[in-house]
Amino acid sequence: MATPTPREAHVLVGVTGSVAALKLPLLISGLLKIPGMWTQRSDPVLHIELRRWADVMLIAPLDANTLGKIYSGVCDNLLTCVVRAWDITKPLLFCPAMNTAMWNHPITAQQIKSLLSFGYTEIPCIEKTLVCGDKGLGAMAEVDNIIDKVREVLLKFQLQG
């Protein structure tokens, strides 16, 4: 019996309006180095087609606005529509990124807890001096840590499938 050929991995990356989105080129470059990663472009597709296509969804960065939308079930853009239609048997990872004061607001903890209850995986924010000059929690996790977590989740997901 022939060994099945593993198919390319599909990772859907969601990007929000956080200043941490500046790291997107580094993140994408790193993700494309994961062996077996899909690297082709295709015609634009709707949110249902995207959710069917992706094995894993990564939202990096996840800003406070989009966190609130996902928490509330709002789907007024492509990203929030994909999340709302997401197959919760597949991994969804999110990387919070916001100002320290926003991170420390009590609603943020409620919202994060809710996303975790859906089975989503948080890649926690880190403490550092933010672009605004504030120092504290709220910065997006380091790109290398995000890539390592995606690699780990992909391997686990592919072994299960």
Mapped onto helix, strand or coil, the DSSP state of residue 17 is coil
Each residue's pLDDT, cut to its tens digit, for the chain (161 residues) gives: 555 556 778 888 988 888 899 999 999 899 989 888 777 666 565 788 889 989 999 999 999 999 999 999 999 999 999 999 999 999 999 999 999 999 999 999 999 999 999 999 999 999 999 988 999 999 999 999 999 999 999 999 877 76
d(CA 124, CA 145): 10
What confidence score (pLDDT) does residue 161 get?
Answer: 64
Residue written as token pair 């599909």: 10
d(CA 159, CA 161): 6
Q: Is the pTM of this model over 0.85?
A: no
User: Which residues 6+ apart lie within 8 Å of 35 measured at CB?
Assistant: none
What confidence score (pLDDT) does residue 2 get?
Answer: 56
d(CA 139, CA 152): 22
* End-to-end CA gap in the chain: 19
CATH 3.60.70.12 at 11-160, yes or no: no
Are residues 16 and 59 in contact, defined by beta-carbon separation less than 8 angstroms? Answer: yes
Catalytic hit among 75, 95, 125, 132: 132
What confidence score (pLDDT) does residue 43 get?
Answer: 57
Q: Is 132 a catalytic residue?
A: yes
